Amino acid sequence: MPSNKSVSDAPIVQFTNCRILRSHQLQREDLWVREGKILNPEKLFFDEKGSADIQLDCKDSIIAPGFIDVQINGGFGVDFSLATDDFKSGIDLVSQKILSHGVTSFCPTLVTSPPSVYHQVLPQISIRNGGAHGAGILGAHLEGPFISKEKKGAHPEHCLRTFEERAFQDLLATYGSLDRVRIVTLAPEMKRSSEVIRELTKQGICVSLGHSVANLSQAEEAVQHGATFITHLFNAMLPFHHRDPGIVGLLTSDKIPAGRRVFYGMISDGIHTNPAALRIAHRAHPKGLVLVTDAIAGMGLAPGRHTLGQQVVEIDGLNTYIAGKWPGTKTLSGSVATMDTCVRHFQEATGCSVETALEAASLHPAQLLGIEHKKGTLNYDSDADFLMLNDSLYVQATYIAGEEVWRQKVLGM
């Protein structure tokens, strides 16, 4: 029997009888994993003369990269924008619960809050790898408070801020620190936003445009200064107009710097975006589409009243509104859809391929964050964060670093 010990003592696991999403196609081949990484079987056979220590029959499942949610405000009763003494246990609960929905990495998202909340919460968000304890944390997404009053959506108006004379220093004073921050959503039409975008980008932070009344040229200027993302396209921005398409126009703009791709988030829950709008965006710019849940504390809970930062929201089915608004003036406030639901709805609404739907929740967010060399694909040497799904795209099992961290219970077992 050939030895596996020439390179590492760690066991080699071979996943057989599966279809792997690799190079934008489902391919019928085996998946090899060792020490949390995906192995190149040719190197294993020919260089190491190695073989599998463990074989697992996947029973014709699809194997796809783990989902990455770059906009999630909370879930299961936990609100990331509330400064509580047990914040850490709350984020741990959410990271554990989203494993069953295929999310292996995420960016906990804070909506517009007072500076005291950022100062208390951000130090408690630790960037960490995923595992049996839950999905990995990639860093925080700070959505606001530097956004437009006209397009504040569910964000509390009294907490909104503008950039004063010291611009970037204002932002630093508001947040307290950028050490654990991965994405900042701001309105690019605000004065001095360009210098803030440049500085954030220089520090490796992704700048997203949202909650904004920016016209197209303001949005293009923001991209030229380094912005690469659009927060929940169509929601909380000027509607598309043929003479000035606003931020939406970035999807087909010819003013994007060479070699740069603009990504855009879509809440594909059947509520926030009409299927026709989802199809328009996807057909205009398929490689930029990033599925996000924008989930709030009420995700996974019964209908009723829950929190979103400083506000109370009402959940009615898949609809979530700011509580207490006059009838007929309901303001949508985040989503209660899970990521796997968004993937299935996206595929159904657009008629896209299974591969395209899965990549919108894995490859594209990884590319947005510049981590596609290790997450969002099943390429050799990348992290072995992956899902087993059936043909209807329901998650059957979730793996992080090659270890099973969740499995669907079979009735009667």
Residues of each annotated binding site: 143, 154, 211, 232, 235-236, 243, 272, 332-334
Q: Which of 269, 294, 383, 385 is catalytic?
A: 294
Q: How crowded is residue 83: how many other Cβ atoms within 10 Å of its Cβ?
A: 18
Which residues belong to the annotated binding site for substrate? 154, 235-236, 243, 272, 332-334
- Of 82, 36, 97, 123, which Cα lies nearest the Cα of 382? 36
9 is catalytic: no
Q: Which helix (H) or strand (E) holds 65?
A: strand 54-65
Sequential DSSP letters for 289-308: EEEE--B-TTTTS-SEEEEE
How far apart, in Å, are the Cα atoms of 352 and each of 283, 356, 359, 376? 10, 6, 11, 19
Helix (H, G, I), strand (E, B) or coil at 269: coil
Contact between residue 389 and residue 91 where contact means Cβ atoms under 8 Å apart: no
Q: How crowded is residue 223: how many other Cβ atoms within 10 Å of its Cβ?
A: 23
Phi-psi region of 298 (alpha: psi -120 to 50; beta: other; left: phi over 0): alpha
How far apart, in Å, are the Cα atoms of 108 and each of 27, 79, 289, 379? 33, 10, 20, 26
Phi-psi region of 274 (alpha: psi -120 to 50; beta: other; left: phi over 0): beta
Which residues belong to the annotated binding site for Zn(2+)? 143, 211, 232
Q: Which helix (H) or strand (E) holds 129?
A: none
Please identify every residue annotated as catalytic.
Answer: 294
